[in-house]
Structure 1
C-alpha cells in the first residue's frame, strides 16, 4: 500500500484530525455535568462516587489474592470495551477511576463500563437461583467483600 501526500503534512493532519493540540478535546462525545453525574450514580451505581473529574469505586477484598482477581477482572472488561480506567491497589482494596480521556470528562462510556465492572465483580451466584454454589463460607476461600 502506498500513501500519496498532496499538500503539507499540517494540511493532511488537520484533514484527518490526527494532530491535536495538547489539552484539546479530542472527541465529540457528550460529557456530563457534576449534577448529572451525581444523579446518575445515585440512581444506578450507588457504590460509585464522583471526585476530581473521575467516577470512582473502592472494592474491598480479603487480601492480595482477591485484589489481583479484581484487577484482572477490571483489566479484562476494560480491554474488551477498549476503555481503560486508572487502577490503584493495596493488600485489601482496589480503587477504579474512570474518565473519558479524549473527552476530558465523564461520558456514557464511563457509565457503561462502571456498570459492567460493578455487575461482574459483585456477582455472587449464591444470590441467584441456579446450580452454582459460590465460594465456600470459609475465610480461607474468601476473596472479595460483597456490598
Structure 2
C-alpha cells in the first residue's frame, strides 16, 4: 500500500535529488533545455516512463523550460512513487 512520506523522509530523499524542491504537498523541478524541440523530447520521454509506472506528473512547458510537479493525488501528498519518478525524470533530462 502506498503511504504518505514523513517530512524527515522527504527531506532525506530531496538530498539525493538536488534539483527538486518541496512545494506544499508536492515536489517540483524545472529544467531549461537547449531548444523547444528538445523540451518536447524530454516531455515525451518522461511521458513514456510515467505511463509505464502508472504515475503521472503535472507538466508545464514554457518555450524551452519544462517544470515537473509530482504528488500522489490519490493520497494527498508525497509518496515513494513521487521520489522514484523524480529520479527517472532526472535521468531523462541528463540523457538529452
- TM-score, normalization: structure 2? 0.90
Flag structure 1 segments of 5+ consecutive residues without an equivalent: 1-27, 124-143
What residue number does 1:82 align with?
54
Q: How many residues align?
A: 96
- 1:80 to partner: Cα distance: 1.0
Question: What does 1:1-147 correspond to in 2, within 5 Å?
Answer: 28-42=1-15, 44-123=16-95
Larger-gyration structure (1/2): 1
> How much is the aligned-residue C-alpha RMSD, in angstroms?
1.4
- 1:47 to partner: Cα distance: 0.8
8 Å CA contact 1:31–1:105 kept in 2: the answer is yes
Tell me, in whole angstroms, the C-alpha distance in 1 between the residues paired with 2:8 and 2:30.
21
Regions of 4+ moved over 4 Å: none
Tell me, in whole angstroms, the C-alpha distance in 2 between the residues paired with 1:120 and 1:114.
10
Flag structure 2 segments of 5+ consecutive residues without an equivalent: none
- TM-score, normalization: structure 1? 0.61
- 1:41 to partner: Cα distance: 0.6
Higher helix proportion: 2
Residue deviations 1:85-139, cap 9 Å, x none?
Answer: 100011121000001111111111111111111112212xxxxxxxxxxxxxxxx
Higher strand proportion: 2
Higher relative contact order (CA 8 A, sep 6+): 2
Q: Secondary structure at the match of 1:113?
A: helix
